[in-house]
Structure 1
Amino acid sequence: MTEPAISVRNLTKRFGGKTVVDDVTLTVARGEIAGFLGPNGSGKTTTIRLMCGLLQPDAGRGRVLGHDILRERGAIKRKVGYMTQKFSFYEDLTIEENLAFVAGLYQMPARRQVVAETLRDLGLQSRRGQLAGSLSGGWKQRLALAACVMHKPELLMLDEPTAGVDPKARRDFWDEIHRLASDGLTVLVSTHYMDEAERCHRINYISYGRLVAQGTVAEVVRNAGLTTLVMSGAATDRAARLLEGAEGVDQIAPFGNTLHVVGRDAAALRRSVERIAQQTGTEVAAADTSLEDVFIQLMQGAEDNMA
């Protein structure tokens, strides 16, 4: 059987007495697009850096692209493309100059040809002479991706790559990710956007350093065991106030003229919602639980490891 691209067990990392990554076990198959979800400060970035060879774990073991994460970090770095949250290229150099600089760092042969091919493949040729500092968020993102893939990595690690870009640029970016994955590239991407998580083959949810959910989107939603009811009518604002603290109610969220009410105890939730619906003259209908509902529920149930 083909060895997974990532297979790590019990990864732990501490900073100043605080456990930032706590006993994380994770597997990513080759050719898979794996989502990495979690709130700010949950340990996503630190976990990614542990796996791509930039940090040494305090405990745990594993292999990335067939290399031991403790003893072969240099070999892992050469086979991974890592895109950080912050744009990290020279803003006073052009797109082409930045890519040429990266090609030099990797000591790539035929650098001019590699840069030209990368410009063409990522749709950057028409802007090759534009200064990186003058690019919009979407074009900066495309430049960063180009620099990550030009050395033909086997694994791409993307840390919140689409933060701050418009929906069109986000969709174009994800179309490119799926194109790369179809050619055999493995991708691990952290994101806060639920629509992006739904485009991953599998997702992994980390909260305050601990991995608390794994699987396909359908599996994660099903395993959360949540029930969602939707209230509609003219008095949903009043219904929301009355539902605060009611039995079985874990989440209350307005969506336009409707109110989404979520809970783990389906029977108790329905009793409370139907009682308030009678009082307020609102209507009740069942709805599918969303990944966002699960995300919020997992956040509410986690303990802050920095507290």
Structure 2
Amino acid sequence: MSAIEVRDLVKTFGTNTVVDHVSMKVAAGEIAGFLGPNGSGKTTTIRVMCGLLTADGGEGRVLGYDIRSEALKIKREVGYMTQKFSFYEDLSIEENLIFVARLYGMRPARQHVRDTLEDLGLYSRRRQLAGTLSGGWKQRLALAACIMHKPKLLLLDEPTAGVDPKARREFWDEIHARAATGLTVLVSTHYMDEAERCHRIHYISYGKLIASGTVDEVVANADLTTFIMDQGDTASAARMLEGMAGIDQIAPFGNTLHIVGRDRAALAASVAEVSTRTGIEAREGTTSLEDVFIQFMGDAQDNMQ
């Protein structure tokens, strides 16, 4: 069963097509990653799915409801966490959550808030002003507000931006625990380690969905080859490789150089030539999701140009 199933979604603003015939499915209980560069249409697509914006074209159902005619029903079943912290900073954690509980008509509001505070480890901080919280605790407050009404679908728009690695890991552990109970999650992210924690990923670039599948499937379907050079003057090797046949990406990682391309034969020949000229060892490596991400970005054309 699909929690999200949309076909040929289109959303325009003036003459700009921000979402360009996007089709995707997210299974119930799945954690789906939504990847893409800034301005690629991720946030707009999420807002169309949860009923905050109306599509100019296409169709779809979210949690069994039609995105056009039943948007209000979708909103009641969805928890949406925006990029920007959007709570009252001069109210306490508890006061913010009481406000949200009353918006949803939850009764008794204070009991629902108390249960949520205890569930997410916020009870001891319940009287702390939201504006004084660190990034990690603000994130936890935002998550609490999203799940308090027990939604069936979580839409998370870059939820861990600006949060330290420990808080990010704890957040993802919480998301996986919720998904194990049947909650469906669609999360947009720029962090490759987070994308790799998703069951499936969907890559959108400048309004067009260009890849979907498990991480392994997306990497394999990109059909890239990666070579690694190390133990030498890799900076000189990088300068030599620039512009050579088969070279699409050159990325230094400390004293190691990653060289990526689609034309395996041309890439191998260029790397072998530079390896011979410099005496730097070269070997074939494993293509990463980040390599694929960068390749997709390089191939795409800005729809605002």
Residue of structure 1 in register with 2:55 after alignment: 57
Q: 2:201 aligns with which of 200, 203, 207?
A: 203
AA of the residue aligned to 1:105: L
Query: Any runs of at least 4 consecutive aligned residues in structure 1 with deviations exceeding 2 A, and if so which?
Result: none
AA of the residue aligned to 1:305: N
Cα contact 1:235–1:281 (8 A) shared by 2: no
Q: 1:166 aligns with which of 152, 160, 164?
A: 164
AA of the residue aligned to 1:218: D
Task: Quote the offset at 1:110 in angstroms.
Answer: 1.5
Aligned runs of 1:1-307 on 2, under 5 Å?
A: 2=1, 4-307=2-305
**Please, what TM-score do these two structures have when normalized by structure 1?**
0.99
RMSD: 0.5
Cα contact 1:11–1:23 (8 A) shared by 2: yes
Q: In structure 2, how many angstroms separate the alpha carbons of the residues matched to 1:168 and 1:203?
A: 23
Task: Quote the offset at 1:233 in angstroms.
Answer: 2.3
Aligned residues: 305
1:112-141 Cα distance to aligned partner (Å, 9 max, x none): 110000000011011001000000000000
Q: In structure 2, how many angstroms separate the alpha carbons of the residues matched to 1:271 and 1:227?
A: 12
Q: In structure 1, how many angstroms separate the alpha carbons of the residues matched to 2:19 and 2:100?
A: 30
Q: In structure 1, how many angstroms separate the alpha carbons of the residues matched to 2:71 and 2:154?
A: 15
Unaligned runs of 5+ in 1: none
Unaligned runs of 5+ in 2: none
AA of the residue aligned to 2:199: H
Q: In structure 2, how many angstroms separate the alpha carbons of the residues matched to 1:39 and 1:137?
A: 23
Task: Quote the offset at 1:259 in angstroms.
Answer: 0.2
Q: In structure 1, how many angstroms separate the alpha carbons of the residues matched to 2:190 and 2:64?
A: 29
AA of the residue aligned to 2:268: R
Q: In structure 2, how many angstroms separate the alpha carbons of the residues matched to 1:163 and 1:278?
A: 43
Task: Quote the offset at 1:285 in angstroms.
Answer: 1.1
Task: Quote the offset at 1:14 in angstroms.
Answer: 0.5
Q: In structure 1, how many angstroms separate the alpha carbons of the residues matched to 2:223 and 2:126?
A: 50
AA of the residue aligned to 2:285: A
Q: In structure 2, how many angstroms separate the alpha carbons of the residues matched to 1:127 and 1:241?
A: 54
Percent identity over paired residues? 71
Task: Quote the offset at 1:64 in angstroms.
Answer: 0.3
**Please, what TM-score do these two structures have when normalized by structure 2?**
0.99
Q: In structure 1, how many angstroms separate the alpha carbons of the residues matched to 2:110 and 2:256?
A: 57
Q: In structure 1, how many angstroms separate the alpha carbons of the residues matched to 2:98 and 2:275?
A: 64
AA of the residue aligned to 2:242: E
SS in structure 2 of the partner of residue 161 of structure 1: coil
Task: Quote the offset at 1:199 in angstroms.
Answer: 0.1
SS in structure 2 of the partner of residue 269 of structure 1: helix
